[in-house]
Chains A and B, each alone.
Chain A
Amino acid sequence: MAPIPIAAAILVLLGAAAALRATHGRLTVVGLGVALLGLPLAVGGIPDPLLLAFRTVAVLLALLLLDHAVRRTTSLIGPIRLGGTTEVAIELAAWLLGLLLGSTMPDARGSAVALATAVALGTAGLTLLCFGHDTLRLGIGAMLALAAGATAVPAFGGGERAALELALAGALLAVAGATAWLAVVGGRVRHDLELADRPRDLRDAG
């Protein structure tokens, strides 16, 4: 296995784990940034430098939008529904499962590391979308899920890379814009990023 994709995949996993585990809004945004900026290298094969630059600028703009929204409301967010550690464990398990699937599939069309990273990132995104109860985690989950979907296309050996990279950059910006809008407008209603009346923690359910 090539070292660069492996190192990049580890970076992506750490970023996604920070986005899942952190209870400080700006740290969550930093985690998202690490995951999204490391992702092109984890897919394998260095993309066109111009496309990479375009995508990097779009990701940085998206992060700026989210950071602006966090600063305008509150930097503190409650823990994710299962506490954070459970979600990180689910993400790691998804990565290992993806690696196993990618290595053993008889008709494998792409790199196993890329597939595993896409599966882990998609799991992290869906976890945030399902268990997140604040605007920031919802938007970050949406961005991770879309980035994972866009990573899965070249990981399976399909798609036109240039069009995909441009469209992903646009989609990430659109999601970040909508999330920032939701966060700022929501901040005027209840001065934080929370969406639930009373955040539920399933650990206390028993």
Chain B
Amino acid sequence: MALLALLIVAAAGTAGTFLARGRAGGAPGVGIAALAGFVIAAVAMPADATLAVGAAQLVVTPYARLWLIAAAVALLAVELVSRAHGGQRNLPFAALGGLGAAAVALTVTDGAAAILAATAAGCLGLVATLGGPITMPTLRVSADGLRSVAVAGAGALLAVAWIGEDAIFLSSGAVAAGVLVMAAALALRLGAVPFHVPLARLVGTARLAAVPLAAAWLPAAFAIVGLGWAQLGPAPVAGDLTGPRLIVALVAVVTIFAAGVVAILDDDLARVLGYGLVADGGFVLLALAGTDPAVWPAARTWLLCLALSRTVMALAILGLEGADGTRRGRELHGWLRRTPSLGIALAVAVLVGIGLPGMLPFEARRTLAVLAVGEPLGALVLVLGALPLLPLARLAWVGAQAPGPAVAAGRSERPVMLPADEREAPTAWRARARQIVRRAALAWQLDRVPIASAVTGLLALAALAVALGVGGLAEAAAGRPPGAGPLPGL
């Protein structure tokens, strides 16, 4: 019943936010309340909840629950920060629809149905990119996104159909073909080379608030489902598949290297974020190149960390753009002095996205790299994967200097002092309540930048906690993968 409640909250929230879109002032409240409701329903859901819809079965796992909580909290933070910086009209609708479909994808016990649900989630997520002023380039990147989601979904379904439920009855050539088709589908959905152009264009063109949902969380849900199938289907015979594993490893390494180099050369922070996402997709692909069963929990750990890290980074860039009116690194002289908490958030995003030895993301990336390409090359891949650090280091250097024209004309994180008459506390409780509401509304009007920075900082702390193992990510990732069939006796 808990899972049913979660799905009802998602459906009601999607419908509510859709209906409230046209009402001035109504939509933000509905969207935030619905996302908060989803967070509460996900937290309240037991880690072993089940739901049967006719013959179809949905089984919650600790990983699925943790993923849904993290995604909902992150998207709630995105909605709050986006509202503070002008808003993204379709985000709550797309987020709730996408989360509902992702919840089905991560819990349904049939692999093909899980892929269809993840594809549906991807389509709903694309609606977020259509908010705000629409131009032909925006429309084209959304259309390209729909094309990528559909082709990846159809390709993954083809791989599932081809290999079936037990790969040990197939020839190694047939299994290799299925694995390569699934790898291509994952590469397309995650934006790996040579399919990186749609993702890079989407991140560079669409509103930044739509990026975490459309380019991080929902592709990650698709990858979790695809890798779950790979773990259960072809993995038992993967030892014989040297050729396909080499091809996938090569594509992954080229993706990590090329995306890292382009990220160094670019000055637009949104594009740095986009190429960081491309490089992250390369690490996910490495899971299909490894034969050791340890790659699967590592990949699931990494998929949650990458989505959290890129969400925090997107919010920090959104905050910089909102405060200083630009997201070009060379125009942001002195940003660190005026908005230090965004600097801390960016540093945490790096820690969660790359990590230090002993942290979950670092160990996950190391496991994926070493098990895919061996010991000396694995270390090199790890170093290449850290290339996107360089533009961020350059940004920190620029930020520590004296404020330039853009930053000097922008807003700092220091809250505006409220007018004196607003500080006098009335004694009657009704008047006091009215004053609190008035002060909150006034603070929202005057202090949007500090509030957005505070929300970004809180999400960064939560992401750091997850990366340090709080919440049991390592244990959850080692558990039952999605699409693993019905529980005995259910």
Chain A interface residues (CB < 8 Å from chain B): 48, 50-51, 107, 109, 118, 122, 125-126, 129, 135, 138-139, 141-142, 145-146, 148-150, 152-153, 155-164, 166-168, 170-171, 173-175, 177-179, 181-182, 185-186, 188-190, 195, 197
Contact = CB atoms under 8 A, between A and B. Distances in A.
Contacts of A181: 127, 130
Given A158-B112, A170-B116, A170-B117, A188 B55 contact: no
B227 interface: no
A118 B161 CA distance: 11
Contacts of A157: 164
Nearest to A51: B54
Contacts of B155: 149
Interface in B68-125: 97, 101, 104, 108-117, 119-121, 123-124
Given A129-B147, A153-B112, A175-B150, A146 B54 contact: no
A141 B110 CA distance: 24
A195 B140 contact: yes
A152 B153 CA distance: 13
Given A164-B112, A189-B139, A178 B55 contact: no
A146 B157 contact: yes
Contact of A146 (B126, B143, B154): B154
A164 B116 contact: yes
Contacts of B161: 118, 149, 152-153, 155-156, 158-159
A195 B147 CA distance: 13
B195 interface: no
B182 to A, nearest CB: 12
8 contacts: A153-B112, A163-B112, A164-B110, A171-B123, A178-B146, A181-B127, A182-B142, A188-B134
A152 B150 contact: no
B53 interface: yes
Contacts of A166: 53-54, 56, 113
Contacts of A139: 146
B145 to A, nearest CB: 9
Most A C-beta atoms less than 10 A away, residue of B113, B126, B158: B113
A152 B130 contact: no
The binding surface of chain B is classed by DSSP as: helix
Contacts of A48: 54
A122 B153 CA distance: 12
Nearest to A161: B55
B165 interface: yes
A161 B57 CA distance: 12
A122 B154 CA distance: 8
B125 to A, nearest CB: 9
Contacts of B160: 153, 158-159
A164 B56 CA distance: 8
B136 interface: yes
Given A162-B56, A164-B110, A166-B53, A190 B136 contact: yes
A171 B119 CA distance: 7
A171 B154 contact: no
B487 to A, nearest CB: 14
A150 B143 contact: no
Q: Nearest 10 pairs between A and B by C-beta?
A: A149-B157, A142-B150, A163-B56, A174-B120, A162-B55, A167-B116, A167-B113, A152-B161, A145-B154, A163-B113
Given A122-B158, A178-B126, A186-B134, 4 more contacts: A158-B161, A158-B164, A174-B123, A182-B142
B186 to A, nearest CB: 15
A89 to B, nearest CB: 21
A190 B137 CA distance: 12
B147 A138 contact: yes
A160 B484 CA distance: 12
A146 B109 contact: no
Nearest to A50: B54
Contacts of A160: 55-56, 109-110, 113
Contact of A185 (B134, B158, B162): B134
Contacts of A190: 136
B299 to A, nearest CB: 23
A48 B115 CA distance: 22
A170 B54 contact: no
B64 to A, nearest CB: 16
Nearest to A109: B164
Contacts of A126: 151, 154
Nearest to B160: A153
Contact of B150 (A146, A155, A163, A170): A146
Contacts of A156: 161-162, 164
B19 interface: no
Contacts of A155: 161
B224 to A, nearest CB: 16
Most B C-beta atoms less than 10 A away, residue of A138, A150, A188: A150
B135 interface: yes
B233 to A, nearest CB: 10
Interface in B144-174: 146-147, 149-151, 153-158, 160-162, 164-165, 169-170
Most A C-beta atoms less than 10 A away, residue of B123, B155, B161: B161
Given A163-B113, A189-B135, A149 B158 contact: yes
Given A138-B147, A178-B124, A146 B56 contact: no
B147 A182 contact: no
A177 to B, nearest CB: 7
B119 A159 contact: no
Contacts of A145: 150-151, 153-154
